[in-house]
Amino acid sequence: MGMNSNDILAAIRFDDSGLVPAIAQQHDTGEVLMMAWMNSESVAETLATGHVCYWSRSRRAFWRKGESSGHVQHLVEMRIDCDGDTLLLLVDQTGPACHTNRRNCFYRATRGGKLVTIAEPVE
Amino acid sequence: MGMNSNDILAAIRFDDSGLVPAIAQQHDTGEVLMMAWMNSESVAETLATGHVCYWSRSRRAFWRKGESSGHVQHLVEMRIDCDGDTLLLLVDQTGPACHTNRRNCFYRATRGGKLVTIAEPVE
C-alpha cells in the first residue's frame, strides 16, 4: 500500500506499554475475527506493506499474522475510534484467523446460562 | 436475562487491573460499534440485567451505557475469545453508540494516505 502513516500514528493514544488494541473484522461479511495489540512500529509496517503485523505481548516480538501458518490478513482499511485508543482493521482473512483453526476466535458463547462452544475447527 | 455468570467469569482472564476489553457489535448488521472495558462486577451485572454495563477507567466507576443518554445496549449474546482475554458483545444498540452522536466510534479511516472522517453525527 505504501501509505504514509504519520496521520494515524499522531492520532493514536498508545497505552503506558506503548500498545493499542486492534480489532480485526472481515471487510465484506462483518465477522469479528480476533483482537490483538499493536505498537507504533507494527502500525507503520501494516500500513506500509498492507499485511497486518501485530505485537505479541507474550513473545515480546512482532507477530506478522500468517507468517508461519499462511493465514495472512490483507489490510483493506484501518480505522481509529473517537478517543484514539482502539483500532479497527478491516481485513481480508486468508483461512482461519484463530490458532485453534477456527474461522474466528470468539467461538464460545453464553447460552442458556452456560458457556458453550458454537464453532468447530475448519477441516 | 437472569443468567448465571459463573461459567464465563471463570473463563475470563482479567488483566492486572482486573479488566477485560469488550467489543460491542450490532447483532444483526455486524457493525462494530465501540470497544470499552469491563471488570468482573460489570460482566455479572450485564448478564443479570441484559443491559450492557462497562467499567470507566477514567471515572473509575460503573458505566451503565445509555444511563444518561438513553442510548442503551441490550445484550443479545456474550462471547469470549480463545485465550479468554477479550469479550465480544452482540448487542442491540438504541440510537448512536458514540458520544459524538455517531452511530459507531470508528468514524476516522486511513484513505489515500490521510486520516479522514467517514461518518457524521446523527441529526
DSSP track, A42-83 = HHHHHHHHSB-EEEETTTTEEEETTTTTS--EEEEEEEE-TT
Interface of B with A (CB under 8 A): 3-5, 7-8, 11, 21, 23, 25, 29-32, 34-35, 47, 77-83, 86, 88, 98-100, 102, 105-111, 113-115, 118
* Cross-chain residue pair A88–B82, CB shorter than 8 Å: no
What pLDDT does B3 receive?
56
pLDDT of B95 above 50: yes
Please give the single-letter amino acid code of residue B71.
H
* Cross-chain residue pair A114–B31, CB shorter than 8 Å: no
Residue A51 contacts residue A65 (beta carbons within 8 Å)? yes
* Cross-chain residue pair B100–A86, CB shorter than 8 Å: no
- Chain B residue closest in CA terms to A36: B86
Torsions phi, psi for B103 (to 5 deg): -60, -45
* Cross-chain residue pair A107–B82, CB shorter than 8 Å: yes
Least confident of A51-55, A89-93, B2-6, B20-24: B2-6
Q: Would you write out chain A's pLDDT as a tens digit for each of its 123 residues?
A: 455 678 899 999 999 999 999 999 999 999 999 999 999 999 999 999 999 999 999 999 999 999 999 999 999 999 999 999 999 999 999 999 999 999 999 999 999 889 999 999 997
* Cross-chain residue pair A82–B98, CB shorter than 8 Å: yes
DSSP B54-93: EEETTTTEEEETTTTTS--EEEEEEEE-TTSS-EEEEEEE
pLDDT of B45 above 80: yes
Q: What percent of chain B has pLDDT over 70?
A: 97
- pTM (predicted TM-score): 0.96
Residue A20 contacts residue A38 (beta carbons within 8 Å)? yes
C-alpha cell at A89: 482493521
Class of residue A16 by CB neighbours under 10 A (exposed 0-12, middle 13-18, buried 19+): exposed
